[in-house]
Amino acid sequence: MGAEKRRPERLREGYDAVLDAADTYREALVIRLAGEVGLRPAEMARLRPTDVRRVTVDPPRYLLSVPEEDGRRDAYLPTAVERELRRYVHSNGVGDDERIFPITPRRIQMLVSEVAEAAAELRERPGLAALSTRELRRRFAHAALVDYGVNPRAVKAAGGWHSFEALEPYLPAPTDTELVEAFAVLEDEPSPAGDDPVDDGTAFRSLLAATGRCAMIRLDGEGYVDRWNRGAASTFGYRAGEILGTHVSTFYTDEDVERGAPERTLSAAADGGVEADGRRLRKDGSAFLAWEVVAPIRDDGGQRRGFVLLIVDVSELGDRLDPGGDRGLTATIASVGPTLADAILEATSHAEIEAGACETVADSSRYAFAWIDRRTVSGERPERRAARGVDPSAVEGYSTASDADAVTLSVEHDVSLELPDGDRFSGAVAAVPLVRGGTVYGHLRVGSDRPEPFDADERAWLETVGRQVGAAIAAVRRRNLLLSDRLLELEFVCRDGAFLAEATDRLGCRFELDSLVALSESTQLQYLHLLGASPAAVFDLVEDAEGVADCRLIEGGDGDARLELVVEGGAPSLTLTEYGATVLELAAENGELVVVAECAADADLRTIVDGLRSWFPDTELRGKREVERTAGAAREFREGLEDRLTDRQEAALRAAYFGGYYDWPRESTAEELADAMGISSPTLHNHLRKAQHELIRTFFDAASVDGGSP
């Protein structure tokens, strides 16, 4: 019996060591389900997400309906384990009726043995190598009975033991002191009803229960809902079982999710409370205007444990709220906004967008004139591409301190210009960058002779106009590329500044492009073949490289490997994409990066070349040739998925495919892909599910049109 009583002590001491040795999410979860829930391998292999059920809401407590050979039993599921199980299900896209661990009980036993052997080697404790799922269940029983004093009847029921004799080794005889302490409660006077102290948790729960006019939601540290009140239920239209355990991004619109608004809000609130407003989604898909306060929750030691949200529906007040500030600006925004949107959406060329923007802004009563110029990096004078309310010849000699590549608005005061009607303008001129990502397509210059022009609110609005026009220019360039039957194929050679070129010069290797995935205007995923060098050598260079945020090995090893690079800022492929070109091929060797791209035949080639040289001066346009796209290819572009998939959905789908997410076994997990894309796992799965739905829908729609049988 002495040996039996020492064994639980050994298990308790080694449990954390074994858990720390787990390399994967699945291994750690299997160990916790055996050691903290008491599950057998066969029971884990049959588990499904629907087996978890919430018993109480405040505080949240869970039971696990464990499938046994002759029925089911209820096991207690600790909150921390439930949270990890839920995240694993979300991250791996496990359906409600699918097995959480689609492997055999024998494979589960092998997983535990492999982790135990790794822990033994890591901690230099050979005894840990013998740990098994059976011993983990013994650890569960000992911890419940001895460390926490759980009722043996409850332990027997939760762990699936058929008799109390099986638990006897974990119940040592009590000492005299333990007997006295166990029955000390009989000596205490009962507490009068109503005199119980109210701690912070009780106060929070009382407030949650009493507050029905606004939504109060508590999130864990990763942004998942673990408590909410009646006001949240009525505001969003969910039942408790539907929303508890889901990510806060559920309440945001798709546009806000794609911009990363949920993550930015929580990040801003990590060090203190923040206020936010915007549109939030109800269960039925309808949106409402919300005012929101987000604050961190900390424990006694000051560590952040989660967040609390206060959300108020202010839709009914929206029309009555006076935003204050310049009412003239409000009227201008109300009139110019829709007109500008129509002008740039209907435009079919870069020039039409510029003309429409100038006309719309200058025709408002707020500004005297507007024009757009572009300055090339070769030092030529600015080209006046569009103007309204001013003669282009009158601004030929106009000079400004603003840089041609400036991405922020600047204002020059005391400007004097002659207007077409003979009057003279004296006032201020704002230079508004037309920008998309890091690419500046020019500057919209607007003149104002008001006493105090271009305050902070007006600057913010004009910068928004600049981003809208820049986005429209980028979109029309790409659209013309897709629809054009005549294309211009360009071949560039970059010899300086490009990471891949410098890496080949230092390592004597070669890179070949597999695929590009655009994450944003300034970030790409590059999937590359590496030949002639080790991935470790590339990783060392990435640590000190500018413009490369991360590097990951997909498969292979020294001499032949596939890598994933997260490229930010300056890269030839990024710059060409920003100027409306499509990168077809990319290869680097002997200190040179060769990029082959195509653009529409009528594209402004000088703008593309100068834009690329602004980042990489030692760049040569080695060749260009006009090619024709076949009618079939053009039709495929027109009838493809570009109208059905959003940019983020396509990016997620491409990253998942080229990152090996759909391989079996998987080369990349959902967590790894989400981390590379800078989004959360729930957001990634949201994009993937919608993209897959559109792919399938397009397939069946096409089959129906062609007369096929779907």
Residue 344: strand, helix, or coil: helix
Residue range 486-502: mean pLDDT, rounded: 86
CATH number at residue 439: 3.30.450.40
Of 67-81, 211-225, 489-503, 539-553, give the lowest mean pLDDT range: 211-225
Residue range 45-52: mean pLDDT, rounded: 90
What is the per-residue pLDDT for 13?
61
Residues 424 and 379 in one domain: yes
Asked if the model's pLDDT at residue 171 lies above 80, the reply is no
What is the per-residue pLDDT for 152?
77
Of 44-53, 541-550, 637-646, give the lowest mean pLDDT range: 637-646
CA distances from 595 to 511, 513, 587 (A): 12, 10, 7
Under 8 Å CB-to-CB from 354, ≥6 apart: which residues? 372, 385, 386, 442, 469, 473
Under 8 Å CB-to-CB from 147, ≥6 apart: which residues? 12
In a domain, 248, yes or no: yes
CA separation for the pair 38, 54 (Å, rounded): 19
CB-based contact 218:308 (threshold 8 Å)? yes
Asked if the model's pLDDT at residue 39 lies above 50, the reply is yes
In a domain, 644, yes or no: yes
Asked if the model's pLDDT at residue 169 lies above 90, the reply is no
Residues 353 and 370 in one domain: yes
CA separation for the pair 519, 674 (Å, rounded): 11
Domain stops at, among 264, 282, 313? 313
Of 404-413, 465-474, 666-675, give the lowest mean pLDDT range: 404-413
How many helices (H) and strands (E) the chain has is answered by: 24, 21
State the residue range of the domain holding 298.
201-313
pTM beyond 0.85:
no
CA separation for the pair 686, 690 (Å, rounded): 6
In a domain, 234, yes or no: yes
CA separation for the pair 587, 526 (Å, rounded): 12
Residue range 304-333: mean pLDDT, rounded: 63
- pLDDT confidence band for 616 (50 / 70 / 90): confident
Residues 158 and 223 in one domain: no
Strand partners, 290: 278, 313
Residues 611 and 559 in one domain: yes
CA separation for the pair 427, 412 (Å, rounded): 9
What phi, psi does 432 have (nearest 5°)? Answer: -100, 115
The distance in angstroms from the start CA to the end CA of the chain is 68
What is the per-residue pLDDT for 259?
76
Residues 490 and 474 in one domain: no
Residue range 36-61: mean pLDDT, rounded: 85
What is the per-residue pLDDT for 504?
92
Domain stops at, among 435, 460, 482? 482
Whole-number average pLDDT of the chain: 77
**647-694 pLDDT, tens digit each:** 888 888 889 988 888 887 777 888 888 888 888 888 888 889 888 888
CATH number at residue 307: 3.30.450.20
**186-230 pLDDT, tens digit each:** 655 444 444 444 344 444 444 444 444 578 888 888 888 877 777
- pLDDT confidence band for 183 (50 / 70 / 90): low
**525-547 pLDDT, tens digit each:** 899 999 999 988 999 888 888 87
What is the per-residue pLDDT for 334?
65
In a domain, 625, yes or no: yes
Structural domain count, the chain: 5
CA separation for the pair 40, 161 (Å, rounded): 11
In a domain, 177, yes or no: no
What is the per-residue pLDDT for 509?
93
Residues 394 and 295 in one domain: no
Domain stops at, among 313, 344, 373? 313
Asked if the model's pLDDT at residue 282 lies above 60, the reply is yes
**DSSP string across 496-508:** SS-HHHHHHHHH-
CA separation for the pair 69, 45 (Å, rounded): 12
From 264, 215, 243, 204, select the one nearest 59 (Cα to Cα): 204
What is the per-residue pLDDT for 12?
56
Angle at 583 between CA 581 and CA 584, to 5 degrees: 130
Residue 361: strand, helix, or coil: helix
CATH number at residue 108: 1.10.443.10
Residues 501 and 478 in one domain: no
Residues 143 and 46 in one domain: yes
In a domain, 192, yes or no: no
In this structure, what DSSP letter does residue 569 have?
Answer: S
In a domain, 347, yes or no: yes
Angle at 182 between CA 176 and CA 187, to 5 degrees: 105
What is the per-residue pLDDT for 586?
92
What is the per-residue pLDDT for 596?
93
- pLDDT confidence band for 161 (50 / 70 / 90): confident
From 35, 30, 33, 28, select the one nearest 13 (Cα to Cα): 35
- pLDDT confidence band for 636 (50 / 70 / 90): low
Residues 10 and 138 in one domain: yes
Residues 546 and 652 in one domain: no
CA separation for the pair 187, 16 (Å, rounded): 39
Strand partners, 568: 523
Write the burial class of residue 324 (CB in 10 Å: 0-12 exposed, 13-18 middle, 19+ buried).
exposed
What is the per-residue pLDDT for 175?
67
CATH number at residue 681: 1.10.10
Of 171-180, 248-257, 382-391, 489-498, give the lowest mean pLDDT range: 171-180
Residues 154 and 245 in one domain: no
CB-based contact 132:112 (threshold 8 Å)? yes
Asked if the model's pLDDT at residue 110 lies above 80, the reply is yes
Of all residues in the chain, what percent carry a pLDDT higher than 90?
A: 6
In a domain, 259, yes or no: yes
The length of the chain in residues reads: 710
The total of other beta-carbon atoms located within 10 Å of residue 410's CB is 17
C-alpha neighbours within 13 Å on the C-beta side of residue 535? 17
What phi, psi does 185 have (nearest 5°)? Answer: -60, -25
Strands 582-589 and 304-313: unpaired
- pLDDT confidence band for 327 (50 / 70 / 90): very low
Asked if the model's pLDDT at residue 138 lies above 60, the reply is yes
CA separation for the pair 216, 262 (Å, rounded): 16
**DSSP string across 109-148:** HHHHHHHHHHHHHHHT-GGGGG--HHHHHHHHHHIIIIIS
C-alpha neighbours within 13 Å on the C-beta side of residue 466? 31
Greatest mean pLDDT among 175-184, 351-360, 400-409, 433-442 lies in: 351-360
CA separation for the pair 250, 261 (Å, rounded): 12
Strands 510-520 and 410-418: unpaired
Residues 366 and 440 in one domain: yes
Residue range 50-66: mean pLDDT, rounded: 83
- pLDDT confidence band for 618 (50 / 70 / 90): confident
